[in-house]
Amino acid sequence: MSPASAAAVLEKAEAVDLAAAREMDRYAIVKSALYTSGEIDHSQPQPRDDLKGKLRLMGHDPRLPKMPDKPTLIDFFRLRFGPCVHMMQSARLAQKNGCSEKLILACVLHDIGNNGFIRADHGYWAAQLVEPYVDEEVTFAVRYHQVLRFYADDKYGYEYPESYVRMFGKDFHPGAHMDRYHDYAKKHKYYEAARLLTVNDLYAFDPSVQVDLEEFTDIIGRHFRQPEEGLGFDNSPSAHMWRTINWPTRYL
Ligand SMILES: [Fe+2]
Ligand SMILES: [Fe+2]
C-alpha cells in the first residue's frame, strides 16, 4: 500500500471512530444489574447517575458490530460470541469419534451460555436459548453437560477433570441440587447424548488449531431451525434472550 493510500485508510478509520464517539455521546448507557452485581451491592441504595440531557439507548450499541435485521445463528457466532475454538474443536472431535450429527451440533452449541451470555449455569442458559430451534435430545445434552462434567462415569471412560481440581480446589462439590440433577439425568432416555457431549468436551484445547464454523454450517442447516424473522424476532420462548445478546445495553 502506498503511503498516500495508507494515510487515507487511517483517516477513514479515525472518522469512523469519531462518528461512533459522537453517537455514543448522545446516549446514556446504563448497565444491567447483573453486569455489576458483586462489584456493587444492589440491595443497597445507589448514587444516581447523571443522565440529564442524554437519550437512553434503546437499540443497537454503537460500540458493537451491527447485527443484520434478521440475524441467524451464524451471525451470533460471528458478531456476538467470543472465540469459539473450544466448541469447534469439541465438535470436530465428536465428528472424528463417529458421533451423530445431532451430537456434533450439541458440541457446536454447548458453551454459548458462558461464551456469549451468562457464565453461571451456562449449560442451562445455552439450552434455553436453543430449545425452540433444535431437537429435544440436543437441548438435553447442552443443558446437562454442565452437570455431568462434575460426575465420573467409568462406562464411558469419563473421569472428573483434572482442570476442575486446579480451578475449583480439591474439595469442591457443586452442591446438593447438582447431585439431584445428576441422578435425574442418569435415568433419562437422553443420558447418553449428554454424557457423550462431556466425553467430547475438550478439557485442554489447542488455541493454535483453527476449526472454522464453516465446517459445521451444513449440520447447522439440517438441525437448527433458523426462524424466518431472525433470532430474537420470532416470538419464541427464548427470542427475548437472543435480543438481549443482540442489544445488551438496551435501557428497557
Ligand atoms: Fe460447558
Ligand atoms: Fe465445553
Domains of the chain: 3-56 (no CATH), 73-225 (1.10.3210.10)
**If we measure between CA atoms, which residue out of 162, 146, 148, 136 comes closest to residue 111?**
146
Instruction: Report CA(120)–ligand 1 centroid distance (Å).
Output: 10
Instruction: Report CA(202)–ligand 2 centroid distance (Å).
Output: 6
Q: Residue ranges of the alpha helices (H) in 131-210?
A: 136-148, 162-168, 176-186, 191-200
Instruction: Report CA(86)–ligand 2 centroid distance (Å).
Output: 7
The pTM of this model reads 0.90
**If we measure between CA atoms, which residue out of 46, 27, 28 comes closest to residue 37?**
46
32-68 per-position pLDDT tens digit: 999 999 999 999 988 887 788 899 999 999 899 999 9
Give residues whose Cβ lies within 5 Å of ion ligand 2.
111, 201
Q: What is the pLDDT of residue 247?
A: 97
Residue recorded with cell 443497597: 44
Q: Which backbone phi and psi does 77 adopt, to 5 degrees?
A: -60, -45
pLDDT band at 204 (very low <50, low <70, confident <90, very high): low
Compute the average pLDDT of residues 202-220.
86
154-199 per-position pLDDT tens digit: 999 999 999 999 999 999 999 999 999 999 999 999 999 999 999 9
Q: 195 and 158 in contact (C-beta within 8 Å)?
A: yes
Question: CB burial class (10 A; 0-12, 13-18, 19+) of residue 134?
Answer: buried
Instruction: Report CA(145)–ligand 1 centroid distance (Å).
Output: 6
109-162 per-position pLDDT tens digit: 999 999 999 999 999 999 999 999 999 999 999 999 999 999 999 999 999 999
User: Measured in Å, how far apart are the chain's first and last C-alpha atoms?
Assistant: 46
Q: 146 and 124 in contact (C-beta within 8 Å)?
A: yes
Which ligand sits closest to the CA of 86? 2
Instruction: Report CA(135)–ligand 1 centroid distance (Å).
Output: 19
**If we measure between CA atoms, which residue out of 123, 162, 118 comes closest to residue 146?**
123
Which ligand sits closest to the CA of 144? 1
Instruction: Report CA(204)–ligand 2 centroid distance (Å).
Output: 10
pLDDT band at 203 (very low <50, low <70, confident <90, very high): confident
Q: Which residues contact 200 (CB under 8 A, 6 or more apart)?
A: 90, 91, 93, 94, 97, 99, 103, 107
**What whole-number distance in Å separates Cα of residue 122 and Cα of residue 201?**
14
